Amino acid sequence: MSMAAPLKVVIAGSAGRMGKVLLEAVSQSPDCVLHGALERTGSAHLARPASALGGDSDVLVSDDMAAALADADVLIDFTRPEGTLTHLALCRRLGVNIVIGTTGFSPEQKQLIADAGQDIGVVFAPNMSVGVNLSFKLLEIAAKVLNEGYDIEVIEAHHRHKVDAPSGTALRMGEVVANALGRDLGECAVYGREGVTGERDPSTIGFATVRGGDIVGDHTVMFAGIGERVEITHKASSRMTFAQGALRAARFLAGSGAGVFDMQDVLGLRD
């Protein structure tokens, strides 16, 4: 019996923090092969072998998106919203699936991602970690049980280079809790407190953001009641957990067909 051909993977932003880890993860995965490594025009890494950044591939880093995506199976993109949407449009035209770990999209930009799912397979998730996505499920259960008498706060911490706040993962955690409680996060979220704020509105979900050092990603959702406190926490110590989750998503898309999915679909946690 012949073995299945390796999954042909293209990495966007291959010289970035996540890009380098993704290159390493692909090199460690026998069922995947690096098909292309993309970087922005003008990058000092162009025309160098991807192995100089991570992994062991002799594929050359390129800014030619069309050439890199030709005959590829999937693009993995952890870059910035504008770049991701450019890549998305080309993937849609070429029929290449895409795994999107980029955060910070506007509602209008998210609609463009949804539209692309009519033609290609898309996994769009603010966090690819298996543990974080298990946490989403645990938060849904906790919110339904602790639905009265508990104040809810989301606390997140990331490295000094992160440009969006709160993190996409923190926002998703808030959405999961709000949905479980029948609330609209857009109406009940509180993103900052300063001065004389008055007593806490029990229907709100608060967010606190920490930025500093090289923190990979810490997230805690606190359900604070009278006499007890329940906390669900996830701490990432390495970006490899996100890279392995992204490859799991890429494998999922190989058999999914068109549509927009998230890691709950990938991990079989969808009710």
Question: For residues 133, 140, 84 and 102, what is the CA-based torsion angle, rounded to 10 degrees?
Answer: -60
DSSP H helix total and E strand total for the chain: 9, 12
> Could you tell me the domains of the chain?
7-124+239-266 (3.40.50.720), 130-236 (3.30.360.10)
The reported pTM is: 0.82
Averaged pLDDT score across all residues of the chain: 95
Alpha-carbon distance of 210 to 171, in angstroms, equals 14
Burial 212-241 (b: 16+ CB within 10 A, else e): eeebbbbbbbbbbeeeeeeebebebeebbb
When pLDDT is averaged across residues 21-50 and rounded to a whole number, the result is 97
Q: Which residues are catalytic?
A: 158, 162
Q: 152-174, pLDDT tens digit by residue?
A: 999 999 999 998 999 989 999 99
Q: 108-125, pLDDT tens digit by residue?
A: 999 999 999 999 999 999
Q: What per-residue confidence (pLDDT) applies to 1?
A: 42
Alpha-carbon distance of 182 to 88, in angstroms, equals 32
Tokens 């509180």 correspond to 190
Residue 100 has pLDDT above 50, yes or no: yes
Peptide bond into 166 cis (omega under 30): yes
Q: What per-residue confidence (pLDDT) applies to 119?
A: 98
Closest CA to 102 of 80, 117, 123: 80
Q: What per-residue confidence (pLDDT) applies to 126?
A: 82
Q: Are 254 and 13 in contact (CB under 8 A)?
A: no
Chain-centroid distance, C-alpha 136 = 13
Question: For residues 201, 202, 205 and 209, what is the CA-based torsion angle, rounded to 10 degrees?
Answer: 60
